[in-house]
Every structure is written in C-alpha cells, then in structure tokens.
A and B are shown apart, each in its own frame.
Chain A
Amino acid sequence: MRQYVIRRLVLFVPTLLGASLLVFVLMRLVPGDIAEILVYQTGSESSTIQKKQIQQIRAELGLDRPVAVQYLAWMAAAARGDFGQSYTQRRPVRDILIERFPRSLELAGLTLALAVIWAIPLGVVSAVRQNGWLDYAARVLSLSGLSLPLFVTGALILYGLVRLFRWIPPLEFVAFTEDPAENLKQLIWPALCQAYYISAPITRLTRSQMLEVIRDDYVRTARAKGLGEGAVVYRHALKNALLPVVTFIGWWGGRLLGGVVIMEIIFVVPGMGTALVQAVSQRDYPTVQAMIFVMALVFLLVNLVVDLLYAWLDPRIRYA
C-alpha cells in the first residue's frame, strides 16, 4: 500500500506541472497580448508612439522575457500562493480566486449530490430488470440526458422560469452564508440541469457494472443459500458494482469545477467559469493561468483521493 501511495504521489507533481505549462504556453500563443489591447484601446496618434508604449507595457509586465523564464517566475510565485496582478481588474488574482472559487465549488457540489441521489438507484433498477420496460425507460431517460446538451436544457429551463414564474436570474450573487434560501433559489436550477446531464453516464455505468456483477458466482451463491433478492442486490452485488462507479463520480466531481461554466453563463452565476471566459477574451493571462491551474489542481487532487480510496477498498489494485 505504501508503495502504491508513493507511486501515485510521484505522478501527481509532473502532471500538475505539465498541465500548468500547457496553459502557460497556450496563452503565450494567443495573438494580440494585453499590451496591444491596452494601447490600441486608448488610441494614440502615431504608430511609433504606440509601438513604444506596447514595448514599455510588456517590459513592465515582464512579457518581454523568454517564456521559460516567465513560467519559472510564475511557478515560483504560485507556489507561495501569489498569482500576480490581474491585468484588467487591477487587483490581485488571488482575491478574484477567493471570491469566485467558493461559488463554483458550491454549484459543483450541489450538482454532484443531486446527480448521485437519483442516478445510482436508477442504474440498479435498470440492471435488475434488464430488458424490461423499466430498463428501457431508464436507458432512454439517461440517453436523453446525455443527448440534451447543457445549454439546451439550460435555455429551456430558463425559458420556462421566465414564462411561468417571471423569474430572471438575479444580477447580484447572494452567498449561502448571507441568505441560504436566496442562494439556493439561484443555484438550484443550474445544478438540476447539470445533474440531469451527468447522472446519465453514472446511471449507465451503474447499470453495466451491476449487469456484470450480478452474473458472478458469489451472487449465485448468495441466491442459492436463500437470501432475499433485496439482500442479494444491495448487500452483495451493489457493493462490488459501485467501486468503478465511485471512481467515475470522483472523476466527474473533479471535472465539475470547470464543467459548470456553461451553467454559470446561462444562469448568470459569477463563478470561476464566467471569470475565465471573460479573462480569455481580454488576454488577462494571470487570471486565466490561475483559474485553470486551480481547476487542474482540484481535478488531480480529487482523483488522487479517489485512487487511494479505491486501492484501500480493493486490494487487487495496489498489488497490480
């Protein structure tokens, strides 16, 4: 077990570095940097003055240094929790993160909870009654969940809310700590939308895992010794079938922080996603890098925890 933990931890660091490097280089490839945008906005008279201004701003922001040097400097600062100054918002990126992160986290958590609550029972029922009408209904339901892209369900729900309840997403975000009811009213719709979407693969995986497990010998043994169907399904089959499902949920859970971006846009939730989309269009490198870095970090951390949990639950993994 200890060896497995060490191996898994050793893999964590290069992956995180690789992901951050990727984003860093990618943002440097974006045509038109912040200096150009700032200068052309103010609109000075001659182009030689503009060019000088651009060079001056680049020098101030350190953009004239080689990318490798920039990356190392960024990494060194980031390790201390300093993500630099936002180019467009004139405040530290860390403050933006502290403001936005909890909102996206809450939305992601709510989404995942809603999805798991109904996806797993549906998957179990679907497997136990394979090829019955319930199975078909569940499969069509989950496939339709997969087929309705997030922005379609989001748009339809928004339309329904506007039409039926005259409800439009509030422009001001209310934190859960300030007013829980108001906060949930704002987040429940995007969470339900996305939960419907991600519950589909969870249902399908639960179904296929259950189908596999339910044919195993020990399940036959459990039946043969006269256990009730409920005990066979829930105590024997489900426990083993759920292992890969847990990994998958963990994978999705880590993914969701960045995955709720479309919901944030439709339902006007000022979270990380909306900030990120805006920062990309404004070439606000420090904000983009920090946001994506945090998203990748959370994703990798969640995966690490799930993997270790999995290895602890299933001894076959750690000795493989």
Chain B
Amino acid sequence: MVEESQSLDGKVITKPFMVLAALVLVGVILMLYRYLFGLGAVTNLSDGYPWGLWITYDVLVGTALGCGGYAMALLVYIFNRWEYHPLVRSAILTSVFGYTLAGLAIFLDIGRYWNGYNLFLPWHVNFNSVLVEVALCIAAYVAILWIELAPTVLAGHHQNPKAREARESLERWLPVIVALGILLPTMHQSSLGTLMIIAGHKLSPLWQTGLLPLFFLLSAITMGFAVTIFESILSSLAFKRPFETPMIAKVGGVMAWIIGVYLVIRLLDLLVRGQMGLIFQGNLNSFMFILENLCYLVAFILMVQPASRDQLRWLFVASTAMLLAGSLYRFNAFLVGFNPGPGWSYFPALPEIFITLGIIALELMGYLYFVKRYPVLPKIEHA
C-alpha cells in the first residue's frame, strides 16, 4: 500500500485559528439567544419569507460546497480516473465539514427541534414530502462521509495495530461505501431543487421549472469540482506547498463541459417556456439572473480553453466564478426569485449573519486541525 497523502505537522493554534475561534464564540452566544427567545429574536424571517440565510447559505450552498467528495468520487471511482485519486482525501474532508455543519444548522433553523426525531418514525413520515427525501438523505450521507474519512484518521494512528486492522477491514467495504457516497448526493442535491416546485407562482419563472432537480444536481457537481480546485490552490498558498496545477487544470476541463451542458439546457428551458423576456425587465430578478449566468459563462470560457486553465491565476478565477455562479443560483432560486406577495421583504439580520459566520469559522477550524494532524493533503513528490 503506497501512502499518497501526508499530514502537515504544523502548530494547530495559530493567530488565524484564534480569530476563527472568536467568531465561533460570538455565534454560540447568539445561538443561545435564539433558543431562549425564538427565531424572531435573531432573524429577519417572517411568515412571507419563512426560509432565509440559514437554509440558503448553510444548507443549500454549504452542502454544494461539500460536494467536492461527491464530484471527485464520481470522477475517480466511476469514470476510473485514478490519476485524480490524490485529491480525494482533502475533497472528502471539506465535504465532511460542509455537510455535518449543514445538518447541525438545520437544528438551529427548525422551530420545534425537540420533535426532530419524528423524521425517522415511519408512521409519522410523509413520503410525499420532498423535504423528507432531503432530510433522510443528508443524514445518511453525513454518516457515509465520516466513514469515508475514517481511513484518513486511522492512517494518522498507523503505529497502533488496532487502527491498522480497522482500516483494512473498512477498505474491504469501500465499494459499497463509495457507491452510497455517490447515490445519496445525487438524490438529495436534485431534491433540494425539487423543494421549490411546490412553491409554484411564488417563485419567478426565471427559476421555477420542472427542471429544478436537474439544475441543482448539475450545479452541485460543478461546484464540487470548483471547490476541489479552489481548495487545492488555497491550501498550496497557505501551507507553502507546490501547486497541483496539471491535475487541477484537468479537473477544470471536465467541469467546463458539464457547465456547457447546464447552460444550454438552462437557456433552452427558458426558451421553451417562453420566459426569455423576463431576462430583460431591468428589475432585481433580471439583474440577478444575468449575474448568475455571467459567472457561469466566465467559468466556462476560462475552463474550456487549455490556454487559460493551465495558468494558475485563471484557474483560480474560474473556480471562484463557478462557486459564485452556483451560490447565486441557489440564492436566486430560494430567496431573490421568491416573492410571497406584496408587503413582504427579507434581508438577513446582523445576528443571523453572525451565526452563519460562526458556522463557517467552525468549518475552517476543523479543516485546519485535520490537515495538520492527519494525512489529508497529497504527498509532495521530492525530485
């Protein structure tokens, strides 16, 4: 067995780590306030906009940013592209944090959290509900992600014979775990889009379509690739490691074609439904639609040409554009394009934003701890 990953062995408690810890502390205090005085005390949510920043960012964008593990698993295990295998571990780590915290954020958002176990009681569960599919699938996938991460943790304790044994028996189950790890995100990432079908006329026709599940799935896969590239470049910079340019550039090439397919279907769908006119109304919806798809287009153009994607700078810009594009699409389809009727408006409250920042900070702290303590990042080949 060849070790292709290594830990960084740096100090865990650094200045940035402490700044993140302070943000987490602020978030925790505000969360306590939320549990004592209700959701209205810390959010700007209303009966018109019952879902806000937490659902849109923490759950929708958070899990899409957590799709690195899913996208890379598709590429490596299904399309048999083993040259990308060194990127899998760090991608899974980001996924673990993205998904686990999205799962926890749900418990912050739901009002009657103490009844949450009813989601797992078949006699209460409503199998017609899209939210059931999303909730059960995300819960199962969080468990699968931790199992996928386990070999990394066990490899970190390689002197221990028990850990070695556990790791080997875990690896026998690998095909089942990986297959589940691909099926579950395919199901719930598409269902996240299906969630809005039932909102009907309340969602602008720029986003309301029967193809919502397909668009959410494709954007999740492209965001998964983008986050893998983005994270690889940032961690090379932060930890002063050599860049993984040729490998991540090729991932970018794969991504470009999926974006291309997405954009074609997206525009055809608007055309067939006769809603193209809505793009040029000059209102907030048109502006956000154009911005969202411009980001997609930038990512596509930069990634599709080898001349630009082989340059680290453009690769970074392209992956950022893709992450923005997918995030904007999610914000637009759940908040910007959502109009419950006259008299309602929503912009997140400051405490609401700070709780989300606290969650992001916790995610980053977890990442920093893991890459320093466990063999996550690809091993540097010394010439």
* A complexed with B: no
Give residues in A with beta carbon < 8 Å to B: none
